[in-house]
Amino acid sequence: MDEEDSGLWLIGLGPGDLDLMTVAAVEKSKKCDYRFLEGYTALLPDNQLEKLTGLVGGFEKVMRPGVENPKEILDLAKKSKVALMVVGDPLQATTHVDLQLRAEALGVNCHIIHGISITTIVTGAVGLQSYRFGRQVTLAYPYGEYLATSPFNLILENRERNLHTLVLLDLDPTGMGVEIQKPMSPKVAIDVLIRSAKKIGVDIDDWKIVLCTDMGGENQTI
């Protein structure tokens, strides 16, 4: 591990069970002067928050504005070691790729410590081959009457090529990333799929959907 005095470390926590943090993630988070937990792209289960404090020390939570407009974090990282801890793998979300680019533009050292991503776990856990998955999609909350059908179209394209789709469910009903996160329930997800299918005129009665929640402390239903 390097001995730099300042910089930003984007640190992956893995899928929510902190036993699945890497040794490097624990060690580096401990050594940072400031620690932030990113609460916008994914959620750490409540019962793990205290455990995280015990493992690496105290931290502050940041939401979307703090991450997408990260003046405070980057200013700190110019003079001290700052950890931004992210559930999953930090570079799976474009938000953090953007943060990395901003840091580099400001001459702030930016390091990545990878974590296990849910995108890795799901394919094996459901007994399907990772090679048979097409492009992944995120199903967004509908905004009032507006329903985006592009995720549904991508699933259709994968199906036409006989591929599975990993569908990630939205966390943020407002789309603003500021309030309390609310993971989309399966009921809402199915409703979005059915409404999308109706809008496009496709019959999805025979589709097979595998529902996974809390992977890595897990709970599966078909």
- Quick one: which of 7, 15, 66, 70 contacts its own copies (CB under 8 A)? 15
The residues, ordered by sequence, that sit 6+ positions from 127 with a Cβ below 8 Å of its Cβ are none
φ, ψ of residue 84 to 5 degrees: the values are -110, 110
CA 151 distance to own-chain centroid:
17
Map residues 17-46 to x or -, x wherever contact with its own copies holds by CB under 8 A: xxxxxxxx-xx-------------------
Name which position in 86, 137, 140, 167 contacts its own copies (CB under 8 A).
Answer: 137
**Residue 80 contacts its own copies per CB under 8 A:** no
Q: Does 14 bind its own copies (CB under 8 A)?
A: yes
97 contributes a contact to its own copies by CB under 8 A: yes
Q: Which residues pair with 11 in a beta bridge?
A: 85, 113
Residue 161 engages its own copies in binding (rule: CB under 8 A): yes
Residue 36, both tokens? 């932030």
Q: Which of these segments, 66-74, 77-85, 123-131, 193-201, binds its own copies (CB under 8 A)? A: 123-131
Alpha helix stretches (DSSP H) within 106-179: 118-125, 150-160
Tokens 């990878």 correspond to what residue? 114
Residues 171-210 binding its own copies (CB under 8 A) are: none
Number of residues that bind its own copies (CB under 8 A): 48
For residue 28, give the H/E element and its range. helix 23-31
Strand partners, 84: 10, 36
β-pairing verdict for 211-213 and 219-221: antiparallel
Distance from C-alpha of 152 to C-alpha of 204, rounded to nearest angstrom: 11
Binding span for its own copies by CB under 8 A among 44-52, 91-99, 179-187, 195-203: 91-99
CB of 114 vs its own copies, minimal distance in Å:
5
Chain residues that interact with its own copies, rule: CB under 8 A = 1, 12, 14-15, 17-24, 26-27, 89-92, 94, 96-97, 112-117, 119-121, 123-125, 127, 129-138, 157, 161, 163, 216
